[in-house]
Structure 1
Amino acid sequence: MSFEFSIILNNINYIGTMFLFVIGLYTVLTHPNLIKKIIGINIMETAIFLFFISIGYVQGGEAPIIDPLTGEQLFINPLPSAMILTGIVVTVSITAFALSLIVKIHQAYGTIELDEINKIRSVEANE
């Protein structure tokens, strides 16, 4: 039973995507700091971007510019790249909005640690 490393090398972008997504998910689930949670979400979004770009790549493909002299060729799909540009804009907007919310939370509670905020809220609710 031999293990072929060509399987890993041919799918390294998908393995990297899974690795990045798990790192981001772990960060979101285990850290009580709100800024670290935002960083984890951004890492997860980056993994999704890498996945979509990897799907659009074609081995031996060329840029999708049609040349009448060469005829039909194998082209790389440009749609995932265009979708990722839109996704990046949305990601930056959501990150900016989330960071502004964290600033307001810090002004209201004096901390950005989720555990401490929950304690403060439970004390306020009992009063």
Structure 2
Amino acid sequence: MSASLTLVVLMAVMYGTGVYVMLERSLTRFLIGFVLVGNATNLLILIMSGPSGTAPLVTGTASDDRMVDPVPQVLMLTAIVINFGVTAFILALIYRTWWLAQLGDEGDTLSDEHADDTEAATEAVFNQVDLDDEAIQRVLDESNEHGDDSHTTRKGAGE
């Protein structure tokens, strides 16, 4: 079985469109381009996997000659999982960028209509971060008390 011309053209269009859209400065367009390139890669693996055949189960019979190669199937499954993980990461980046764009230089919100709601939420988040930083600093200070003694002891013993 030869590769279908329709699949080859579709794959080429998806690669071209995906790369073109990924060159935009918007993270949302980058995400769309990345998904297109990932799907085009899956289509490429499907096209290059060879002719269809029976399930890849080794039985020791004569029907094993028509067995399909399982490696392209595994590669395609791996590509799907990696594409999903990177897509989730890019979505998290888009959300974080949107969240930071809503904050002004001083941590105030940019829009006045939601200023009361988001200002209280933002202040609560910043207060929680400050409390977390203080707790981490306390733990580090306590660990440094013991760490400094052992460090000076080892240094003194080595000299």
In structure 2, C-alpha distance between the alignment counterparts of 1:64 and 1:102, rounded to whole Å: 41
Q: Deviations over 1:52-101 (max 9, x none)?
A: 12111315x33223444535422221111111111211111111111111
| Aligned pairs (5 A) from 1:33-44 | 33-44=26-37
In structure 1, C-alpha distance between the alignment counterparts of 2:63 and 2:83, rounded to whole Å: 39
Would you say the 8 A contact 1:64–1:76 is kept in 2? yes
1:20 alignment counterpart: 14
- Aligned counterpart for 2:67 among listed residues 38, 51, 75: 75
Bigger mean CA deviation after superposition, 37-46 or 68-77: 68-77
- Once the 2 structures are TM-superposed, how far is the Cα of residue 110 of structure 1 from its aligned partner? 3.5
- Aligned counterpart for 1:87 among listed residues 79, 92, 101: 79
Q: Which runs of 5+ in 1 are unaligned?
A: 1-6, 112-127
Cα RMSD over matched residues?
Answer: 2.4
* Alignment TM-score, normalising by the size of structure 2: 0.55
| CA gap 1:102/1:69 in 2 versus in 1, 3 angstroms | closer
Q: Deviations over 1:38-62 (max 9, x none)?
A: 0111101100011012111315x33
- Once the 2 structures are TM-superposed, how far is the Cα of residue 33 of structure 1 from its aligned partner? 2.5
Q: Deviations over 1:92-127 (max 9, x none)?
A: 11111111111111222249xxxxxxxxxxxxxxxx
Would you say the 8 A contact 1:42–1:91 is kept in 2? yes
- Name segments (4+ residues, structure 1) moved above 3 Å: 66-72
Question: Does 2:42 correspond to 1:49?
Answer: yes
In structure 2, C-alpha distance between the alignment counterparts of 1:72 and 1:90, rounded to whole Å: 31
- Once the 2 structures are TM-superposed, how far is the Cα of residue 22 of structure 1 from its aligned partner? 0.7
| CA gap 1:84/1:28 in 2 versus in 1, 3 angstroms | same
Choose between structure 1 and 2 for higher RCO, CA contacts under 8 A separated by at least 6 residues: 1
Identity percentage of aligned residues: 23
Matched residues, number: 102
Question: Does 2:92 correspond to 1:100?
Answer: yes
In our comparison, the structure showing a higher alpha carbon Rg is 2
| CA gap 1:27/1:77 in 2 versus in 1, 3 angstroms | same
* Alignment TM-score, normalising by the size of structure 1: 0.67
Would you say the 8 A contact 1:58–1:77 is kept in 2? no
In structure 1, C-alpha distance between the alignment counterparts of 2:7 and 2:27, rounded to whole Å: 29
Q: Which runs of 5+ in 2 are unaligned?
A: 104-159
